[in-house]
Homo-oligomer: A and B are copies of this chain.
Amino acid sequence: MKKKRVSITDIAKALNVTPSTVSRALNGGGKVSEKKKQQIQALAKELGYRPNPIARSLVENKTQTIGLIIPEFTHHFYSRVLAGIESVTSKAGYQLLICTSNEKKRQEIKSFQTLLDARVDGILATVCKKNDEFGHLQEVLESETPLVLMDRICEEIETSYVISDDFEGAFQAVDFLLQTGCTQIIHIKGPKVLSTSFNRFMGYKEALRKHQIPYNEELIFEGNDPELPEKIRTYIKTNPVDGVFAYSDYLAFEAVNVLRNEGISIPDKVAIVGYADEPISTYVTPQLTSVNQRPFDMGSIAAGFLLNQIQDPNSPLEFKSLKTELVTRSSTKKNQLARSWE
């Protein structure tokens, strides 16, 4: 026998008033005599009354719910983004409806549909890797549901977004390698279709240009190549290499392994920089120099943008490119110009 939840009508009956009055007394509605208001509020508390958000949603046409679409949570990065989001949405009284796409386009599309169906008040999303077509995002826009993209953007779609300054982050990293004396720097690239891959690659090139080091295509490796370790191993045996800039900490770690197996000392012979500053960077040996993307901030800022749009649908789109911070550890040589991340 389900213990019936007490409704606004229950307490209205008990007090011989109408539900309207109770509603007004409980929300700030003002137009209720102080006496009744006190009475009603007291009884409500006593009975443990809890407003039914479902009913409220139905009449107010908003759900106090925000949808979140994220590729997955196994990367520390997204966990931090989530934490950042939650820190602001929970304070603002919003619930989070969370969907993961597992980097699959089909699931992503379905997730958007689900969230739209659920009538969320807004959507935060990081689109998945395979993203050549954006019809589903267009639909979101047409539904007039506020949307803020994080980390990865689609240029075809006009929406607010928060990204990390990948170009600058990569530039910082490679610039640092060059400053500490490296000249033959391998770059291990990220997934082809991602804007982040492209921007980091461009940052790499720009740093070379600044130091007038010629770009050498042979130094570029594809991160998703299953034979990556083997190819690096082969390459370094016959070519001079003194630095590695990887698209991710995980890829950097693969390079670490190859070098260690070959007995090449890090950072003396080859210095290595990863990307994302995941916890693993402090667990590997040597500890990995990496680019911190401030994922927590990414989440909190994106959530802020979204709340702005929800409050005022006519507010202008907002954009933010987060500055990165190079965290130097023992996989690179010392350089007084660099500050370590606090």
A contacts, CB < 8 Å to B:
2-3, 50-55, 57-58, 63, 72-74, 76, 78-80, 82-83, 86, 95-100, 114, 116-119, 142-144, 253, 279-280, 283-285
Contacts and interface: CB of A to CB of B under 8 A. Distances in A.
Contacts of A253: 283
A158 to B, nearest CB: 17
Contacts of A53: 117-119
Contact of A57 (B54, B95, B97, B143): B54
Contacts of A95: 97, 114, 118
Given A96-B97, A100-B86, A284-B283, A119 B73 contact: no
Please provide the 8 A-B residue pairs with the shortest distance between their CB atoms, ordered closest to farther: A73-B79, A74-B79, A285-B285, A98-B98, A280-B283, A54-B57, A73-B73, A2-B144
A210 B57 CA distance: 61
A219 to B, nearest CB: 25
What is the count of identical protomers in the complex? 2
Nearest to A68: B98
8 contacts: A54-B54, A55-B58, A73-B78, A73-B83, A96-B98, A96-B99, A283-B283, A284-B285
A330 to B, nearest CB: 13
Contact of A117 (B50, B80, B99): B50
A74 B80 contact: yes
Given A3-B144, A73-B73, A280-B280, A54 B58 contact: yes
A322 B57 CA distance: 41
A139 to B, nearest CB: 9
A120 to B, nearest CB: 10
Contacts of A58: 52, 54-55, 58
Contacts of A118: 53, 95
A54 B284 contact: no
Nearest to A96: B98
Given A73-B73, A73-B78, A74-B80, 9 more contacts: A50-B116, A52-B119, A53-B117, A54-B54, A74-B279, A82-B100, A95-B97, A98-B98, A283-B284
